[in-house]
């Protein structure tokens, strides 16, 4: 009898314990806070009493002035019209040289003299034709005087006129033959050396002329004259970014050899052809180089600066990513958070340009958006 009573008391205790545990669980469930959010599609609703509210920072979207910047590598190049390699078109032996590195030049500056058989032959033709033309001119004048005094013959006058016209044409051809050598026919003397002059304003940057050497007519350049007060920087811009580059856009050139120094430049020309190997477009930037900091062949960094424009900029922390797409959370008038895709542009410090997806006056989550991302 006692055994039965003890067994009944044991079972009663277990039942009471189960009832107690169940009641305790119900009390704990009742004490749990309501859900922190509700979601429907891309819209998340967060109750005012949710702890998420305190983790979200909200800002108003606004516009501001911004200049897009883009960096690429570049190479310094002399401007073709301001660069000349001197290679005499006629063979001869160097008899005198005025060349020295750094020599300032104009188109009248003599560089060196050569004794050229071709030039001497042209001189002989020139003086011969000049003499024959002068003789034909005297004969014509005499026939005209005879006709004026009534003792001349028309046939002789016509022959004299024809002979003069022929000799004059031959003389003009001889003059052109002298000018090919860049010589002045008015100051020419028979047997004089051929003087090679600088073709442009600039300075001598290369000199290979040796006194007494014989230069062939097919010889390579023996000297170089260049004007480097202005130079081109050749930059390579990826085809996807070329839409941001325009003629006359400002640039800043940086050289590793001069840390901190920035040289101003402007886009001179954007090439019309895409390099198929690099998928880039060549851009020419003209730079003032009066101090000769930039030297042809030098590698530089080019910072393209677009014209200022009014754009929307938001903190980088506001941008979230999913499935390779950028988006932000927009806060509507009802306090709901709407996931919206945006297209980004350049960056400026800890901010990013929004090209599309947002409008001025809208409100977005600038910090803490990842909490909503996790909730969703």
Residues 108-155: tens digit of each pLDDT:
899 999 988 888 999 999 999 999 999 999 999 999 999 888 888 889
pLDDT reported for residue 32: 36
- pLDDT of res. 227: 94
Contact 303, 336 (CB under 8 A): no
Q: Which fold has domain 82-223?
A: OB fold (Dihydrolipoamide Acetyltransferase, E2P) (2.40.50)
Residue 87, burial from CB neighbour count under 10 angstroms (0-12, 13-18, 19+): middle
Tell me the pLDDT tens digit for each residue of 262-275: 999 999 999 999 99
CA 66 – CA 62 distance, rounded (Å): 12
Which residue's entry shows tokens 């947002």?
Answer: 358
In this predicted structure, the answer to whether residue 326 has a pLDDT above a threshold of 60 is yes
Q: Say which residue, 362 or 305, is predicted with more confidence.
A: 362
Q: What is the pLDDT of residue 17?
A: 39
Domain borders along the chain are 1-32, 39-67+309-375, 72-79+226-305, 82-223
Per CATH, the architecture of 39-67+309-375 is what? Beta Barrel (2.40)
pLDDT at 307 over 80: no
- For 298, counting Cβ atoms within 10 Å of its Cβ (0-12 exposed, 13-18 middle, 19+ buried), the class is middle
- Pairwise CA distance, residues 344 & 273, whole Å: 27
Instruction: Encode pLDDT of 212-246 as tens digits.
Output: 988 887 778 899 999 999 999 999 999 888 888 88
Helix (H) or strand (E) holding 101: none
SS3 category, 90: coil
Residue 67: per-residue pLDDT: 75
Pairing of β 343-348 and β 280-288: unpaired
Q: What is the pLDDT of residue 305?
A: 80
In this predicted structure, what is the pLDDT of residue 314?
Answer: 93
What per-residue confidence (pLDDT) applies to 3?
Answer: 35
Q: For residue 101, give every residue at least 6 positions away whose Cβ sits within 8 Å of its Cβ, in sequence order, or none.
A: 204, 205, 206, 207
Q: What CATH architecture does domain 72-79+226-305 belong to? A: Beta Barrel (2.40)
Buried b (16+ CB within 10 A) or exposed e, 112-137: bbbbbebbbebbebbbebbebbeebb
- Nearest-angstrom CA–CA distance, 129 and 58: 94
Burial class (CB in 10 A: 0-12, 13-18, 19+), 70: middle
pLDDT of residue 10: 39
Q: Are strands 351-356 and 309-315 parallel, antiparallel or unpaired?
A: antiparallel
Closest by CA position to 328, among listed 69, 55, 57, 35? 57
- Residue 80 has a CB neighbour count (10 Å cut-off) of 8
pLDDT per position as a tens digit, 35-55: 466 777 788 888 878 887 888
The confidence band for 21, taking pLDDT boundaries of 50, 70 and 90, is very low
Distance CA 283, CA 10 (A): 94
Between these two residues, 31 and 207, which has the higher pLDDT value? 207
pLDDT of 22 strictly over 60: no
Residue 199 has pLDDT above 80, yes or no: yes
Mean pLDDT of the 4-27 span: 41
What is the value of pTM for the model shown?
0.60
pLDDT digits (tens, 9 = 90+) for 313-325: 999 999 998 878 8
Question: Using CA atoms, how far apart are residues 60 and 82, in angstroms rounded to an integer?
Answer: 54
């Amino acid at each position: 009898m006692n055994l039965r009573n003890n067994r009944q008391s044991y079972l009663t205790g277990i039942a009471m314990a189960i009832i107690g545990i169940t009641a305790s669980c119900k009390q704990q469930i009742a004490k749990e806070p309501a859900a922190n959010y509700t979601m429907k599609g891309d819209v998340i609703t967060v109750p005012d009493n949710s702890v998420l509210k305190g983790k979200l920072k909200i800002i108003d979207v606004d516009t501001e002035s911004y200049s897009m910047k883009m960096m690429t590598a570049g190479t310094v190049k002399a401007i073709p019209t301001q660069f000349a390699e001197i290679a005499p078109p006629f063979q001869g032996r160097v008899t005198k040289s005025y060349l020295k590195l750094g020599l300032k030049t104009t188109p009248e500056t003599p560089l060196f003299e050569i004794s050229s058989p071709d030039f001497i032959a042209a001189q002989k033709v020139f003086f011969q034709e000049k003499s024959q033309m002068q003789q034909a001119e005297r004969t014509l004048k005499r026939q005209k005087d005879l006709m004026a005094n009534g003792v001349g013959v028309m046939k002789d006058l016509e022959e004299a006129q024809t002979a003069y016209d022929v000799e004059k044409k031959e003389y003009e051809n001889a003059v052109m033959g002298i000018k090919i050598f860049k010589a002045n026919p008015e100051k020419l003397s028979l047997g004089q050396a051929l003087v090679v002059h600088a073709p442009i304003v600039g300075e001598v940057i290369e000199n290979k002329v040796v006194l007494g050497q014989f230069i062939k007519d097919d010889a390579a350049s023996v000297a170089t004259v260049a004007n480097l007060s202005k130079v081109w920087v050749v930059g390579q811009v990826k085809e996807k970014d070329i839409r941001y580059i325009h003629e006359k856009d400002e640039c800043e050139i940086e050289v590793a050899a001069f840390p901190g120094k920035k040289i101003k430049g402007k886009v001179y020309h954007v090439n019309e052809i895409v390099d198929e190997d690099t998928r880039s477009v060549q851009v020419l930037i003209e730079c003032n180089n009066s101090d000769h900091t930039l030297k042809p062949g030098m590698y530089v960094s080019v910072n393209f600066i677009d014209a200022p424009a009014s754009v929307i900029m938001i903190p980088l922390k506001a941008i979230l990513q999913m499935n390779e797409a950028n988006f932000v959370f927009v806060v509507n008038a009802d306090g709901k958070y709407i996931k919206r895709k945006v297209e980004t542009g350049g960056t400026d410090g800890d901010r990013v340009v929004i090209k599309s997806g947002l409008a001025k006056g809208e409100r977005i989550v600038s910090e803490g958006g990842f909490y909503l991302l996790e909730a969703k």
